[in-house]
Structures are given as C-alpha cells and as structure tokens.
Amino acid sequence: MSFDKLRKQSKLGSLTDRLVKEVEKMNSSSGGADERFWKAELDKTGVGSAVIRFLPAPDGEELPWVKVYSHAFQGPGGWYIENSLTTTGGKDPVSDYNRQLWNSGNDADKDTVRKQKRKLSYYSNVYVVRDPLHPENEGRVFLFKYGKKIFDKVLEAMQPEFDDETPINPFDFWQGANFKLKIVKKDGFWNYDKSEFDKVAPLLDDDDALEALWSKQYSLSAITAPDQFKSYEDLERRLKTVLGQKPVQAPRLDEEVASEELPPRPEEQVAATVASASSDEDDALSYFQRLADS
C-alpha cells in the first residue's frame, strides 16, 4: 500500500472499519462455537424437534459419515478430554491403561474403566429442512455430530428388520428421506427414540440446486486427519497429569482393541460421567470382558 493510499483511507475511515472487522472475525473464531456444526436444541418445555436430511459423501470421499472415538473424564489432576488414537487404528494411552486396570481383577478398577471408557461419535453432512428455534439455519448445509442411537436408526433404514419394510439409503439426494429428529428428556438424558425417517422423496426437485448443495459440503476425512489427534506421548503425559500418577509402563495392546464394549451397570445409567452424558453416545467395553474371560 502506498503512502498516498494510506492517507486517503485514513481520511475516509475505511482503514478503521477494516481493522474493526478483522478484530470481530478474530473474536468470533476464538473460543466460539464452530459455525460449521448444527445442533438441535430443546425448547422451554424440554422438548426438541427438527427435520434434517443426511447428505451423500462429499466429492472425493467414499462414505457419508466418519466415526471418532474420544475420552472425557475427570481425575485428581483435572479433566481429560481428547480424541482417541484408536479412531485410526493406533494405540492409545487410555486404552492401554484401561486394559491394565481391567486385568487387575479389582472391582474398583473395573468401575474406573467404565468411567474412562471410549465415547463413540459419528459425523455427517446434513441439510437443515426445518429448525423451529433457529429458522435462519433452514436451507443450509452443516456438519452434524451424533451418537450411536441415531446411527442405529440410519442402519435400520438401510437394513430394516421386517420383510414388509423397504430399505432406503438415507444419504441419497433422490431416493433418501428426511429425518424427523424428536428429542425428549428421559432420566435426565436426551432421548431420541421417537425420531424417525419420513417417506422417500427427493430433497429438491432441481438437480442444479442439489449439485450446488453437494459442493457446499464439508470434508469428513478432515475430521479424522492426523492433525486432529495428539501424539501418543503427548496424550500419555496428559493422562498422567489428570490421574496424578507417576509414569507407569503401558502394556502392549493386541489387534482386538478395536472393540471396547461392555454393557454399563444399571446404576451407571443414572450416575454417568460427562464421557457418557447421553445414552445416545454410550460405547461399551466388551473388549475388556473378553480379556477377563480368557
């Protein structure tokens, strides 16, 4: 920028406006909500509803969803809230530590494992058809994070249980169906049991408009890219800080670590930690049960 141009912008006040806009941009992107994501909300009566449409895989990607394992629990040294390296098939210090605890044979250690278990989340692109609390979201494409309960309904639509039900691809622009999201509170948790797919129908009647929507989708592979995960060493240091423990030798996991599933005890449905704050996102630990039985 030349000095003359700088002086001209100063007189017009345009330089100040530009700086203010940059500061606003910084403030909105620092610590605020990720605007790429859409999330349902409950109204004043404690009920939530919306209509969304699951979208096909983004251009250049194979699946219309990705899944991510994470841990969220509190220890003497604070909170541990991190993505798990088992998401991409790697070793993770929490899984290593949980196996060590489970094999101790101590019931208290097994309770600790249940509190520190993995949480499973899915991510897809969705088109918001109806959002009563935020109508400004309607007609827009967002990323949607959801749990096993909703994913099970997606699978049921693709693989119905009864012969008189026709399977559909919920992620199809033309042969898919809108998803009527219905939320109620049950035992203090969000419950999605009443949610259901509508009848099969094209999302829009205009293919050009559908192509435009497709081009606005967000990359799903970016969610599980290496830069979304800390190194084993960094996670291990954080884990030891949270647990308030001295360094311990983590046991080597075998390849069966991919399935950490064990049904939680009944009392845990009420006294759940943040890691399993919604029954929709409960990822059990049968891996450790198999270790104990072997």
Mean pLDDT of the chain: 82
In a domain, 79, yes or no: yes
Which residue segment(s) compose the domain that 195 sits in? 37-293
The total number of structural domains that make up the chain: 1
In a domain, 61, yes or no: yes
Q: What is the DSSP string of 24-48?
A: HHHHHHSSS--TTEE-----TTS-E
With respect to residue 5, please indicate whether it lies within any of the assigned structural domains: no
- Asked if residues 125 and 55 have their Cβ atoms less than 8 Å apart, the reply is yes
Write down the pTM of the prediction.
0.74
CATH number at residue 176: 3.90.198.10
Spatial CB neighbours of 42, under 8 Å, sequence gap ≥ 6: 48, 183, 185, 190
Determine, yes or no, domain membership for 22: no
What confidence tens digit (pLDDT) does each residue in 196-245 have? 999 999 999 999 999 999 999 999 999 999 999 999 999 999 999 999 98
Report which of residues 8 and 100 the model is more confident about.
Answer: 100
High-pLDDT (> 90) share of the chain, %? 67
DSSP structure class, residue 282: B
Chain center to CA of 106: 32
At residue 233's C-alpha, the angle toward residues 230 and 234, to 5°, is 45
Section 91-103 average pLDDT:
96
Which of 2-11, 79-88, 122-131, 214-223 bottoms out in mean pLDDT, i.e. has the lowest? 2-11
- Which tokens is 58 given? 């983004």
170, part of any domain: yes
Residue 274: its pLDDT value, please?
39
Please tell me the distance from the alpha carbon of residue 43 to that of residue 229, in angstroms, as a whole number: 35
Is residue 229 situated within a structural domain?
yes
Q: Determine the average pLDDT of the residues in 149-174.
A: 94
Task: Please indicate, yes or no, if residue 4 is contained in any of the structural domains.
Answer: no
| Residue 195 within a domain | yes
In the predicted model, what is the mean pLDDT of residues 100-122? 95
